[in-house]
């Protein structure tokens, strides 16, 4: 989420841009908004479109200790707008709603990268994940899930520190790693799990 601020008199308004998948926009979504070391739960109603605004009345009182609203400006992404910068080639971007289908029911073992765009170590892991996805094509499936936009899976799998890599086999977690790791260490772990 990107932020823009505006102040009028005593009260302020802070705006964030939130990108949703088309499915999330249709069905509605529950997201976490990190601000000042606090997290606000944002309920996005079903049927939003690009440009829709969700107003969190007096939410700045909770996060900043001063009066003001937070506006969430919705942007709905199409499948073609996924940037290779955030999702490396050979890696599937997943969400709370697609986790079961893409991970738990996968025929291949799945490496899931729990990440967020503001996390520098997460960005360092992107080329490591991309390299592993190319090297282990057909042996492992690689997925990324943004913890800010998908709080249910982040909570369920206790992704309190990121990046966090979980390896699933037959729907069960068989390996967990927290923090950025070099490509060689990831290869060693994946080879030991085969």
Helix (H) or strand (E) holding 92: strand 91-94
Distances (CA, A) of 112 to 13, 104, 142: 36, 11, 6
Write the DSSP assignment of 75-91 as a string of letters: EEEPGGG--TTTS-TTE
Burial of 183 from C-beta contacts in 10 A (0-12 / 13-18 / 19+): middle
Of 33, 87, 111, 122, which is the active-site residue?
122
Is residue 111 a contact partner of residue 167, using CB atoms and an 8 Å limit? yes
Is position 143 annotated as part of the catalytic site?
no
Of 14, 25, 59, 119, which is the active-site residue?
119
CA pair distance 16, 26, nearest whole angstrom: 20
CA pair distance 53, 14, nearest whole angstrom: 12
| Catalytic machinery residues | 119, 122
């Amino acid at each position: 989420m990107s932020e823009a601020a505006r102040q009028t008199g005593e009260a302020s308004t802070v705006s964030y841009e939130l990108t949703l998948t088309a499915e999330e926009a249709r069905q509605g979504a529950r997201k976490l908004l990190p601000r000042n070391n606090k997290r606000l739960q944002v309920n996005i109603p079903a049927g939003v479109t690009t440009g829709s605004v969700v107003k969190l009345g007096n939410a700045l009182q909770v996060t900043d200790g001063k009066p003001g609203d937070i506006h969430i400006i919705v942007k709905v992404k199409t499948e073609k707008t996924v940037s290779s910068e955030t999702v490396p080639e050979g890696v599937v971007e997943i969400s709370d709603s697609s986790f079961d289908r893409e991970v738990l029911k996968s025929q291949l073992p799945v490496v899931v990268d729990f990440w967020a765009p503001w996390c520098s170590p997460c960005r360092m892991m992107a080329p490591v994940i991309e390299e592993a996805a190319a090297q282990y094509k057909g042996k492992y499936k690689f997925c990324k899930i943004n913890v800010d936009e998908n709080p249910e899976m982040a909570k369920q799998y206790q992704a309190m520190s990121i990046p966090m890599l979980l390896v699933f086999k037959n729907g069960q977690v068989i390996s967990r790693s927290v923090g950025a790791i070099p490509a060689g260490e990831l290869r060693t772990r994946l080879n030991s799990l085969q």
